[in-house]
Structure 1
């Protein structure tokens, strides 16, 4: 059954929503794991790397941790699928290089790109909110199987510039950035994770739980949120009032 919404902005999760979690876990995670050491050695003076390494040391409570210890912590967090901000920052840098070199091409479900193009053409503002870093998001959309999709996307948000994805205040922060703090009901959030959907709804947003067979949260369901199995089950009607 189609879900119909009168909104101005759509905010998209990536893993399990626009794209297969399996691709991230089976392709991107091993790619980053194999390159953490080289990144720390070769780009250790880059401001983003310096900041991320300092955050790792703080999280493990080892202010003098060397590169080998930092890499060990990163790999442990990867094994746990922990959404640690410095892990996501460093993965983003590695993936950006991989996409730029052509080593990597991102994945999107077949129903996603036609919907995004149609919504964008209708004047709907599209944004991304992912636990993956903004750098990783930018590389992901720039390196799709159908070329550069960044022109479709207006804003990119992660756990560093917005906050944790299961906290309502993070969604309020994004609504403020979108100029919709006073009218959060003009925003629709699409995600496969119930906790994220709950937080977005608590901030006044519309929500749709995207349930795709084979994804980690498929069996769990999306609680009492509206749900869709694909983007073509979501209809957006923008009012002109």
Structure 2
């Protein structure tokens, strides 16, 4: 059965939704872990790095934490898969450079890119909302196996510019930032808590359930669900289709 929506914009989660969580955990996490130390020692004066370091110290409750202590905390948060904003910021810096060098190529499920291109062509705006930083999102879409997908995307949102993904207020911020009415937005994610928050903010929400993903067995509660993007039909009011 195809789920049909007439909306003006689709907002996409990445891990478990457009792309395999396993790729992020098995490829990107080790890549960043091996480079945290060098980033902290060589580029502590960079404004973005310095800001993230200050945020780590604040989260630790230790304003005097040195580089070794910060690196240890980052590694522990990686092990916990904690969605800490400074962790995501520093990962984003490292991943962006890795993608730019060609060390990394992002992953998308095979049903995703054709759907994104079709929705974009139909006049539907596409946005991304991920716990990964905006810098990481930009690099991810720019460095896909099918080339640069960033021109398909109108906006990028993370936990810093929008807020935590399981809080309705974050989705209200995105709606305001995009100038789109809540009932004209569709959110796609594999995480039930995020879907709940989007729906509470007045959005449409569909749970993506892909075998092998962390939330597959748990399910998506009482939300509409799809196994692939092929099962979702999106039409914009601006479309003549």
> Which bracket does the TM-score occupy, shorter chain normalised?
over 0.9
* Aligned equivalent of 2:124: 124
Aligned partners of 1:39, 1:239: CA distance in 2, in Å?
46
Aligned partners of 1:236, 1:134: CA distance in 2, in Å?
25
Aligned partners of 1:117, 1:136: CA distance in 2, in Å?
21
Aligned partners of 2:185, 2:59: CA distance in 1, in Å?
34
> Where do 5+ consecutive residues of structure 2 fail to align?
none
SS in 2 for 1:56: helix
> Where do 5+ consecutive residues of structure 1 fail to align?
none
* Aligned equivalent of 1:191: 189
Aligned partners of 2:213, 2:152: CA distance in 1, in Å?
25
Aligned partners of 1:8, 1:114: CA distance in 2, in Å?
18
Aligned length: 239
Aligned partners of 1:168, 1:159: CA distance in 2, in Å?
13
| RMSD of Structure 2 on Structure 1 (CA) | 0.9
Cα offset, 1:133, TM superposition: 0.2
Aligned partners of 1:240, 1:44: CA distance in 2, in Å?
47
Cα offset, 1:114, TM superposition: 0.1
Structure 1 runs (4+) deviating above 3 angstroms are: none
Aligned partners of 2:204, 2:213: CA distance in 1, in Å?
22
SS in 1 for 2:207: strand
Is the 8 Å Cα contact of residues 111 and 229 (structure 2) preserved in structure 1? yes
Aligned partners of 1:240, 1:142: CA distance in 2, in Å?
27
SS in 2 for 1:11: strand
Does residue 1:10 correspond to 2:36, yes or no?
A: no
TM-score (normalizing by structure 2) = 0.98
Q: 1:69–1:6: structure 2 CA closer, same or farther, 3 Å change rule?
A: same
Matches of residues 133-152 of structure 1 in structure 2 within 5 Å?
Answer: 133-152=133-152
Aligned partners of 1:237, 1:118: CA distance in 2, in Å?
10
Aligned partners of 2:94, 2:64: CA distance in 1, in Å?
24
